[in-house]
Structure 1
Amino acid sequence: MASAPKLPPIGDVAPLTSEERAGILDLLFEPSTQLHTLSIPLLHEKTFSSYNDLIAAVGAQLTDLSESASTSDTAWLLDILGSHPRLGAKEVESTQSQAEQAQLQGIGEDAEQLKVLNDEYENKFPGLRYVVFVNGRSRPEILEDMKRRIADSDMKTEQTVATRAMCEIAADRASKLM
C-alpha cells in the first residue's frame, strides 16, 4: 500500500525540480498545466516562511488574472479554476478531493439534484466550476449556497469566490499533508 502524500518542509521547496514543485501545487490545489506554468517559477524564485504564505502568493497570482482586462488572462484563470472537480463527481482525480467530497456523494434524487445544480451553475458561469470549501458543512447547506450563488452572483464575483475557496481548500490540505 502506498503511503499518504506529504509536503516537504517549506524551506525545501525553492530548490526542488520543476516536476516536484508541480507535485506540490497538485497536492494543494488540483492538477493544472496552467497553474504549473503560472506558479512553478514563483515557487523557485521566492522563499516562503509557511505553506499559507505560498498559498497566499498563488492566490495573488490568480487574483491578478481575475482583475486583468485581458481575455487570455481570463481564459487562463478559468482553466485553472475549472481543474477543480465537479461537486459530487463520481470520478475525481485527486485523493484530496475524493476525501473532501465523500460526504457529498449522493444516490438517486440527491445525485440528480446535484447534477442539475452543477449544470445550472456551469451554464450561468461558462468555464467555471462551483468551488466551495466544504469544511464539514452538510449537503443541504452546500446545495443552498450553490442555489444562492446561481441566483445572486455574477461572473466576476464567482471568479473571486472560486479563487478564495481554492486557497481555503489548499490551506486546509497543507495542514493535513505536513
Structure 2
Amino acid sequence: MDSLPPLPQLPPNQRTALLDTLFEPCPPLHTLSLPLLSTPTLSFPTYSDLIRAIRSQLFSLLKSSKPSDVEWLDSILRAHPRLGAKKVESKLSRGEQGAMGGGGAGVTEEERREKEEESEKLRVLNEEYENKFPGLIYMVFVNGRSRPVIMEDMRRRIDRGDIDAERAEAIEALCLVANDRAKKLQE
C-alpha cells in the first residue's frame, strides 16, 4: 500500500493492509484493532483519530491485570524491527531507520569506520536492553535524530529499569510512527 485510502467506507479487504502500513504487519494487532475498522457505529474521520483509538486499546492492555494481556501487548510492540537491524522487511521502516544515518555514497573511510563502531555500540545496547526487558525491543520515534542521540536515550531507559514505563514509551513511539507514516503517505 503506497498511499492511504480515504478512511470512511474503507473496504474490508484493505483494513489489514491499512494496519500493516501504519504500524507493521502484526497478527496480534489485527486481532485487537480490526474490529475498530469493522464496527459501523464507530467513525474515524482522520487517521489520527484511528491511531488514537488504537493507542487507547494498547494502553488498556498495559493497564490490565491479566498477564496474557501484557504478553499480547509485548507481541504487538515486538512487531517493529529492531533498531539498527541489517534486514528490515518494511519499506517504511527501512526509510525511518535510514534517517538515523548509516553511511552511503561519498563516505570517507574514517566516516565508514565511525559508522561501523556506532553500529556495534547500537547492537550491544540492543542486547543489553533486551536482557533488561525480556520480551521487548527498544522502540523510539527516530524523527531524524542521530544514532548517538538515540543511543543516549536507550542508555537512559536501560538505567531507569522500569518495564511498565518502557511499554508506555513503546506505545507512544508506535503511535508517533503511525501518525508520521499517515502524514507522509497522504502528501
1:35 and 2:32 matched: no
- Asked if residue 133 in structure 1 is aligned to residue 141 in structure 2, the reply is yes
Q: Which runs of 5+ in 2 are unaligned?
A: 104-114
Identity within the alignment, %: 53
Pick one of 75, 81, 84 that aligns with 2:77.
Answer: 81
Q: For 2:99, what is the secondary structure of its paired residue? A: helix
4+ long deviations beyond 2 Å: 103-108
Letter in structure 2 aligned against 1:9? P
* Alpha-carbon shift at residue 12 of structure 1 (Å): 2.8
Q: Tell me whether 1:7 sits opposite 2:4 in the alignment.
A: yes
Measured against aligned partners, the alpha-carbon deviations of 1:51-105 in whole angstroms (never above 9, x if no partner) come to: 0000000000000000001011011000000001000111111111000001334
Backbone CA RMSD of aligned residues: 1.3
Match of 2:152 in 1: 144
Contact 1:103 1:139 in 2 (8 A): no
Matched, 1:168 2:162: no
CA contact (8 A) 2:118 2:147 kept: no
Residue identity in the other structure for 2:180 = D
Q: Distance in 2 between matches of 1:75 and 1:89?
A: 23
| Structure 2: distance between partners of 1:47 and 1:91 | 37
- Of residues 97, 120, 130, the one that matches 1:122 is 130
Q: TM-score with structure 2 length normalisation?
A: 0.88
State the shift of 1:47 in Å.
1.5
**How far apart are 1:20 and its partner, in Å?**
1.5
Q: Which has the larger radius of gyration?
A: 2
The alpha-carbon deviation at position 177 of structure 1 amounts to: 1.0
- Separation of aligned partners in 2, 1:77 and 1:38: 10
**Structure-1 separation of matches of 2:99 and 2:92:** 13
1:29-108 mapped onto 2 (5 Å cutoff): 29-45=23-39, 46-104=42-100, 105=102, 107-108=115-116
Show the counterpart of 2:111.
none
TM-score (structure 1 length as normaliser): 0.93
